Structure 1
Amino acid sequence: MVVPPWLPVPPPGYGGLEHVVAGLVDALVERGHAVTLFGAGPRHGTRARFVPTCPDIQYPRLGESLPELAHLAQVRHLVDPAEFDLVHDHTTIGPLVAGRRAVPTVATVHGNPVGEYGVVLGDADRGVGLVAISHTQRRLNPTLPWLGTVHNALDIADVPHKTEPGRGPVLWLARFSPDKGPDLAIRACRAAGLPLILAGKCNEPAERRYYEQVIAPMVGDDVTVVFDADREAALRMLVDARCLIMPIQWDEPFGMVILEAMATGTPVVALDRGAVRELVRPGVTGLVCDGPDDLPGALRRVAELEPGECVAHVARNFSTATMARGYEGVYRGFLGGPEHVATGRPVPVAAR
């Protein structure tokens, strides 16, 4: 299992990809597979054997290409075909360089497979199998060599949840970007007469510029701003919230925060973009709106939804065990049969 070198697995705060991989790794180990996790930094928190390709997390260099390329070059030298059946790659550049590995590679596409990213994926070695995280994502570029679709998942065992509707403010939880619609969240909550918490990732230059130039002038007494909340704080805010608002302005391929909200018993009010309808049961676990003008009314009505339905929906459809079974099917289909997978052989590399 190969993750980018930017964050630990699982991360202490922001990092949807890393949370998904942590859940997948532990579920695969639980099902009897021998998993080695290749990442960066001194620590990890999964049940996998951990092999760091460099001693430090590379988050300060996020946005540069060389850290990920060097990480993948190290992985290529460490992956011995005598010891591994399969590489599951979660990096951006991985599909482009995977053809040089001596071990077959399956790659999960975590972003939108269009534009420059689509060019990279379209030029990947034909022996690399791609996995979509939603049917919506897959439809955006149907010509890619997709093996299948496996939804992301969440381990809800340690997620606190409520049994009564939340009485706190509406919560927006994302990174500060126009794609995430924090300006629309402010306008919708003001129109509905409801307080709002903007809890946003704001530690990259583009995020800080957007907040300072666009969002800060809109903030008033009815809006509370929380920067860079860790996971524990984010879960507390979700439990207390009336609902999560998702006024997204792009075709988001998944949306882990939607699962996290529903797992705490908090319904979702979202615009109908991306994979929202694959995740939310309209009228049961949230309300899906056609446009921004529909958001205020939905924010008023959403308190009628039952928290227990939200939690049960995640448990039934987005468990880590379900995700692991989905990937097992992908692995076996890609390699040609179950006899090629889960040999349980030890991996003779330096591990922590």
Structure 2
Amino acid sequence: MTQTKAADSEQLKQLVHPPISQGKLLEDNLIPKNQLISSGQNFDEKYQTIKIAQVAPPWFAVPPKDYGGTEAVISNLSEELVKQGHHVTLFASGDSQTTGKLRYYIDISLSQQKIPWTNCIEPEYHMISTFREIAHNQEKYDIIHTHLSSESDLIIFKLASQIKIPHICTIHSKFPFDKRKHNLGHGDKYYFSFAPHTPLIAISEEAKKNAIIDSKLPLNFIGIIPHGLSEYQFIQAEISPRKNLVWIGRITRDKGTKYAIEAAIKAKRKIILAGIVDTYLPESASYFYKEILPLIEEHRDYAEYIGPISNGEKVELLQKSYCFLNPIQWEEPFGLVMIEAMACGCPVISFNRGAAKELIKPGMNGYLATSVEEMVAKIALIANNINREQMVKNTWNNYSVSTMTKGYVLKYKEVINSVNW
């Protein structure tokens, strides 16, 4: 792993007020599009090995220590790209790890620093600093791959528009963002105005559909690439009798933690709950201490909270669990933990929202439900109707990191080679 501090103190002073708005700095040393491929060299030869600037949000380390679906996907993709011989520079927080090259401007991920999601200064500083470095070293990169997972990431469209390096962006979260919950205003409209034709990747059909309908923006989706799992993180699941239900995630109202507990109580089965609580956010803390914890304490025979867990602990827990409950309360664009559960031989029962209906094939890898009562009824169907061995096989066939990476490499080349970029 190559890891370097990205700026000394003098550079940091300059980066606090980068002259991006002047429209000059990022215009220096630009590479004309017609010079991207040298004469006498065809496209396939030139880009058999791609130089990629992988830009991650700074909220969680890459890979994440416990929670962080976007960061887990970025890590899986980056490591597979390096394995395939591509050159990856990962711009992320300093507590990240990669077999590629790591560059960072924030030492510790913002979540570890307990910085609220509503803060924009720190993540925008990370993005501005990252794109400033890329602008000064454009010959090092064939393409920039960014990842939109929160409102503070929107600045990437402004920054990328000032650099003549092909840019592709994966939208990981529901878009547009909820203006009632974020200090966003019409930021989505303003930021996208800088790069209305940015090639976008959706992570599910549902995510693409909702983004196009809800945003009312000229979004340029060029493909749908589902998330992929890395096999080295999973040992072969032992398909043996299982008893406990399981729920894993960030404990928030949107994730439906309370309904998972209620379903377990009604089904008279114990549920193990694991995940983080954003105690520095009043809404999350209130939900946990006023609604979740009292329910657990009242029904200790049926609910147990074990706190945050590592990826290894998550895999072990899923491989021992009867089924995963996912009473999601929002239009989740994917749901990485659902395919992680399936890969561990653990069927999923989810509320029918977001991408759940794309991931879950009733009777094969789980069931869909619309209420707690229906979820309880589906729990009883798991034992005699789900072939766990076949479910594991199908999951790896459809959601492997190699399949995901193949899709991205094709899109990288497509964008680089596009005369309309």
TM-score where L is the length of structure 2: 0.76
| Range that drifts further, 241-250 or 329-338 | 329-338
Matched residues, number = 338
Cα distance change of structure 1 residues 164 and 329 upon mapping to structure 2, 3 Å threshold: same
Residues 29-67 of structure 1: CA deviation (Å, up to 9, x unaligned):
2222111111121x4332211112233333222421111
Structure 1 residues 105 and 286, CA gap change in structure 2 (3 angstroms): same
Identify if the C-alpha distance between structure 1 residues 118 and 331 changes in structure 2 by more than 3 Å, giving closer, same or farther: farther
Q: CA deviation at 1:298?
A: 0.9
The residue that corresponds to 1:155 in the other structure is 230
Deviation of the 1:330 alpha carbon: 1.7
Give the one of 93, 97, 115 matched to 1:40.
Answer: 93
Please name the residue that 2:74 is paired with.
Answer: 21
Q: How far is 1:81 from its partner? A: 2.1
Which one of 100, 105, 128 corresponds to residue 167 of structure 2?
105
Partner in structure 2 of residue 293 of structure 1: 373
- Which letter maps to 1:336? N
Aligned to 2:64: 11
How large is the RMSD of aligned CA atoms in angstroms? Answer: 2.1
1:207 to 260, 284, 291: 284
SS at match of 1:224: strand
Residue 43 of structure 2 is matched in structure 1 by: none
State the SS of the aligned residue for 2:87: coil
1:77 to 115, 120, 132: 132
Query: Which sits farther off after the overlay, 299-308 or 145-154?
Result: 299-308
The SS at the match of 1:57 is coil
Query: Structure 1 pair 248/165, CA: closer, same or farther in 2 (3 Å)?
Result: farther
**Aligned amino acid, residue 143 of structure 2:** L
Residue aligning to 1:67: 122
Contact 1:171–1:244 (CA<8 Å) still a contact in 2? Answer: yes
Q: Greater CA deviation, 329-338 or 75-84?
A: 329-338
- State the alpha-carbon separation in 1 of the partners of residues 185 and 342 from structure 2: 31
Provide the residue aligned with 2:16 in structure 1.
none
Q: Secondary structure at the match of 2:340?
A: helix
Judge which range, 4-13 or 237-246, deviates more. Answer: 4-13
- Pair 1:55-2:107 in alignment: yes
Distance 1:45-1:308 versus aligned 2 partners, 3 A rule? farther
| Structural mapping, 1:135-284, within 5 Å | 135-142=205-212, 143-204=218-279, 205=281, 206-219=283-296, 220-221=299-300, 222-284=302-364
Does the CA-based 8 Å contact 1:131-1:149 persist in structure 2? yes
Q: 2: distance between equivalents of 1:274 and 1:118?
A: 24
Deviation at 1:150, TM superposition (A): 0.8
Does the 8 A contact of 2:273 with 2:306 survive in 1?
yes
Structure 1 residues 215 and 201 mapped into 2: Cα distance closer, same or farther (>3 Å)? same
User: Runs ≥4 in structure 1, deviation > 6 angstroms?
Assistant: none
Structure 1 residue 251: Cα displacement = 0.7
Matches of 1:318 and 1:307 in 2, distance apart?
16
Rounded to whole Å, the distance in 1 between the matches of 2:89 and 2:398 is 27
Q: Distance in 2 between matches of 1:323 and 1:128?
A: 20
Q: Could you say which structure has the greater relative contact order, defined with CA pairs below 8 angstroms and 6 or more residues apart?
A: 1
1:330 is aligned to 2:411: yes
Gaps in structure 2 of 5+ consecutive residues: 1-53, 213-217
C-alpha change, 1:56 and 1:184, in structure 2 (3 Å) is closer
Bigger Rg, which one = 2
Distance 2:367 2:85 in 1: 39
Provide the C-alpha distance between the structure 2 equivalents of 1:267 and 1:163, rounded to a whole number of angstroms.
Answer: 14
Deviates more, 1:16-25 or 1:59-68: 59-68
Q: What secondary structure sits across from 1:90 in the alignment?
A: strand
SS of the residue corresponding to residue 233 of structure 2 reads coil
Counterparts of 2:157 and 2:172, CA distance in 1: 12
Q: How far does residue 213 in structure 1 lie from its aligned partner after superposition?
A: 1.3
Which residue pairs with 2:46 in the alignment?
none
Q: Give the aligned partner of residue 315 of structure 1.
A: 396
Per the alignment, residue 349 of structure 1 pairs with none
In structure 2, give the amino acid aligned to 1:280: I
Spell out, residue by residue over 1:179-206, the C-alpha distance to the aligned partner (whole angstroms, 9 max, x if none): 1112211221122111111223113333
| Alpha-carbon separation, structure 2, partners of 1:5 and 1:172 | 26
Stretch moving more, 74-83 or 312-321? 74-83
Instruction: State the shift of 1:100 in Å.
Output: 2.4
- C-alpha separation in 2, matches of 1:161 and 1:248: 28
Q: Distance in 1 between matches of 2:164 and 2:364?
A: 48
Q: Quote the residue 2:143 is aligned against.
A: 86
Listed one character per residue, the Cα deviations across residues 249-286 of structure 1 (whole Å, up to 9, x for unaligned) are 11100001001101111111111111012212221111
